[in-house]
Structure 1
Amino acid sequence: MIYLRSFMLSSYIDRNPNIYPDHVFKHIAGETLFLNRITVLYGSNGSGKSTLLNLIANKLGMLGSEKMASFEYSEYVRRFLDWSRYQLGSDRHEEEIRQLPEGSRYIKSEDILYEIKKIQQEAVLREGILYEQRSKGMTQEQVSQYASSHEFKKKMGIIQYSQEKYSNGETSIQFFEEYLLPGKLYLLDEPETSLSPANQIRLAEQINELARFFDSQFIIASHSPIMLGTLQAKIYNLDRSPLQTAEWYELDNVRFFYQFFHKHKSLFE
């Protein structure tokens, strides 16, 4: 299922080189991304891939979107958002959908690291669980009652136990297994954070399966060769102007790894 069919970046770029987010996207201003079931935004540090994810999340009003800049730049952010455009996909009857599926969300690498930190610190863990309940619509009174309940204490115990049992990478995998559900749109910012190569493949295959068989759509910011090589994705190279797609093995970061291992080829023979 394609929930978000396309996203067009604002064509207006302020002449002032310090204006955010104009200066981030000046090399691809006015370009349109045509999105597949899995679309990857690739680019070097500073290419704007994470900013673009957050821009899309803000434009769509998605859960997990965050304020893009300080008050100093709010006027320019609003202008950029206003000038950016998107087109939603169609349902099974070929009629354009009017809204994203409930539960669609933007998941940042910081969210994953916070989940790990939450497990590692009881106070942060407690606040994290209660915050999660508030975000689901509980009133403050209901949250207070929940905090003294057996259910809450049981959940605390389970997560604290997992702290001793699982590594950061395994905790990240658990996070994705819990939060990535069928029939949603997900924006993922560097989901490979803390994951070993084997777990990166495991996550990428989970994403492939959700997209192919369970009507989920993903837009992912990543420069991991393992993720890029495993995901069945359309890849946009944000390091190039005009905006263009590429095969995973053509990307600079992937070729850097290839050249590194090729240089040391004799050590593996």
Structure 2
Amino acid sequence: MYLRSLKIMNEEIRVQNKYPFSIPSLRGTDSIEFKNAVTFFVGENGSGKSTLLEAISYQCGFNNAGGGRNDNYSVDASMSDLGDHIRLSWFPKINRGFFLRAESFYHFATYLDELAMEDPSFSYGGYGGKSLHHQSHGESFLSLFTNRFGEKGIYILDEPEAALSPARQLAFLKVMNDLASKGEAQFIIATHSPILLGYPEAQILSFDGPSIQEITYEDTEHYNLTLNFLTGRERFLYELFREDEEDDIDS
């Protein structure tokens, strides 16, 4: 591992009531210790997962629109308000890696195409040998993971499953394990995928409470909801739809 711990400067953020400083999980947490090469952030939308990922990326010097230290382009609303209010502890310090934002990946692919137009010597060697726009969404994600993630570094990923089928999520787990098991890479990932969360011995941090807490895979809502659906689909949907009907009657 490279990133060992993170401190949230709560004496600074608690005096601010605007978003994202008002997020309960962030206001209630002083520090996080990263224990394994793979750490997952879980929680509902708006719970602070992506906000903290962006802050970590900012402190790493990565492009907060998505990319590494040398990827120079911008996307609206890609700045990190929290970034100046956290401190990272490293051993050893590393400057290589990548920040993936699934929501702005299209802009990153366009940025690469613009580089190729400006510089005839530019190669897509780190991205599967061709424009990411000339690959399907899932193929382009896997091309990035397989080719760009081939060096020692820290990889910060925001919902990488967004473009991946279940089979390709498993392929991504294989890529991730090939790097993490050699001690060459550290991954910090925000996800809703019960498949990705099943990575062996991963650290899972939940943002759903008043502070960030470590939980087990079996205690995640993602695991339990998926398990209940798959093992009792008809009953699960019956109860779900009946709740909708009752709500309609009450209204």
Q: State the match for 2:114 in structure 1.
A: 130
Q: Which amino acid aligns with 1:104?
A: G
- Is the Cα–Cα contact under 8 Å of residues 205 and 230 in structure 1 kept in the other structure? no
Alignment of 1:38-117 (within 5 A): 38-61=38-61, 63-66=62-65, 77=81, 80-89=82-91, 97=92, 99-101=93-95, 103-114=96-107
- Is the Cα–Cα contact under 8 Å of residues 26 and 48 in structure 2 kept in the other structure? no
CA, structure 1 residues 178+111, in 2 after alignment: closer, same or farther (shift >3 Å)? farther
Using the TM superposition, give the Cα deviation of residue 162 of structure 1 relative to its aligned residue in structure 2, in angstroms: 8.5
- Is the Cα–Cα contact under 8 Å of residues 25 and 47 in structure 2 kept in the other structure? no
CA, structure 1 residues 154+189, in 2 after alignment: closer, same or farther (shift >3 Å)? closer
Long gaps (5+) in structure 2: 66-73, 236-251
SS of alignment partner, residue 192 of structure 1? helix
Alignment of 1:84-233 (within 5 A): 84-89=86-91, 97=92, 99-101=93-95, 103-114=96-107, 118=109, 124=110, 128-131=112-115, 144=118, 146-147=119-120, 159=130, 163=134, 167-230=136-199, 232-233=201-202
Using the TM superposition, give the Cα deviation of residue 229 of structure 1 relative to its aligned residue in structure 2, in angstroms: 1.1
Q: State the match for 1:94 in structure 2.
A: none
Q: State the match for 1:92 in structure 2.
A: none
- Is the Cα–Cα contact under 8 Å of residues 10 and 30 in structure 1 kept in the other structure? no
Per-residue CA deviation, residues 197-226 of structure 1 (Å, 9 max, x unaligned), is 111011012112211114111111111011
Task: Give aligned-pair identity as a percent.
Answer: 27
CA, structure 1 residues 152+200, in 2 after alignment: closer, same or farther (shift >3 Å)? closer
Within 2, Cα distance between the matches of 1:84 and 1:109?
23
- Is the Cα–Cα contact under 8 Å of residues 97 and 149 in structure 2 kept in the other structure? no
Per-residue CA deviation, residues 132-187 of structure 1 (Å, 9 max, x unaligned), is x7xxxxxxxxx74x34x6x77999xx636983xx5422232112112112311111
Within 2, Cα distance between the matches of 1:187 and 1:85?
16
The reply to whether residue 239 of structure 1 matches residue 208 of structure 2 is yes
Q: State the match for 1:10 in structure 2.
A: 9
Using the TM superposition, give the Cα deviation of residue 244 of structure 1 relative to its aligned residue in structure 2, in angstroms: 1.3
CA, structure 1 residues 254+16, in 2 after alignment: closer, same or farther (shift >3 Å)? same
Q: Which amino acid aligns with 1:253?
A: H
Higher helix share: 1
Long gaps (5+) in structure 1: 90-96, 119-123, 134-142
CA, structure 1 residues 211+160, in 2 after alignment: closer, same or farther (shift >3 Å)? closer
Per-residue CA deviation, residues 59-78 of structure 1 (Å, 9 max, x unaligned), is 232x22248997xx99xx3x
Q: Compute the TM-score of the two structures, normalised by the length of structure 1.
A: 0.70
SS of alignment partner, residue 47 of structure 2? coil
- Is the Cα–Cα contact under 8 Å of residues 39 and 187 in structure 2 kept in the other structure? yes
Using the TM superposition, give the Cα deviation of residue 108 of structure 1 relative to its aligned residue in structure 2, in angstroms: 1.2
Q: Compute the TM-score of the two structures, normalised by the length of structure 2.
A: 0.74
SS of alignment partner, residue 204 of structure 1? helix
Q: State the match for 2:238 in structure 1.
A: none
